[in-house]
Amino acid sequence: MNCYRFIDGEYEIRYEIKRSVFIATAKGELDEDGAESFVKSVKKRYPDATHNCYAYVSDELGNRTRFSDDGEPGGTAGQPILEVLKKQGLVKSAVVVTRYFGGIKLGAGGLVGAYSAAAAEAVRAAKISFKEECRLIRIKADYSDYAALEKLFAKGGCRVDSVEYGDGVSARMYVKTDYTEAFLKSIRELTSARAQASDTGEVGYECLSGRF
């Protein structure tokens, strides 16, 4: 996967059907620990709710998932919420749907529809962003060459992670995976191969714009 989509921030919507109130809260950029903490925070926010059902995807590849029906009939809440995340291709994201029972039973089909609709409304209200796969590049250059390279960096497609100044300049940068070879070639050309630049092989994900 060269990029991933996630819920950018935290969002909440209310959805009512047959006097039951459903409150869907969505949040992104969460690993497994973060997702668990988010679920606990929503439960604490609505301690008197009848149910707090949830689902989350906690890794970039969409392989680590978890869901809970929290007392609703099996398969009527957590799984439908997870299907909403999967359908939208969202990862590192979680949705908790809180229910206040209104006195009228919805039946299994009605519950599936209600939890799905609430989760979908929360996702629809959310800002969706994406991060692209990047490679960590190490650069060592003298001061004059690094000044020239900064013009290259300003074009986008990369992010400076750290810079150290000493006898020369040492920098760590994240560069879009698809642009890595072009980036290294541009460094060689701009500095007549004086600057040292190498791909560390380390992969990360960043919100980057532009290209070389």
- Taken in order of first residue, the domains within the chain and their CATH numbers are 3-126 (3.30.230.30), 132-206 (3.30.70.240)
Question: CA–CA separation, 80 vs 72, rounded Å?
Answer: 12
Question: Digits of tens for pLDDT over the chain (212 positions)?
Answer: 578 999 999 999 999 999 999 999 999 999 999 999 999 999 999 999 999 999 999 999 899 999 999 999 999 999 999 999 999 999 999 999 999 999 999 999 999 999 999 999 999 999 999 988 999 999 999 999 999 999 889 887 888 999 999 999 999 999 999 889 999 999 999 999 999 999 999 988 888 765 54
Question: CA–CA separation, 73 vs 33, rounded Å?
Answer: 26
Instruction: State residue 212's pLDDT score.
Output: 45
Cβ-based neighbours of 157, under 8 Å, separated by 6 or more: 175, 176, 179, 183, 208, 209, 210, 211, 212
Cβ-based neighbours of 1, under 8 Å, separated by 6 or more: 60, 61, 133
Could you tell me the pTM of the whole model?
0.80
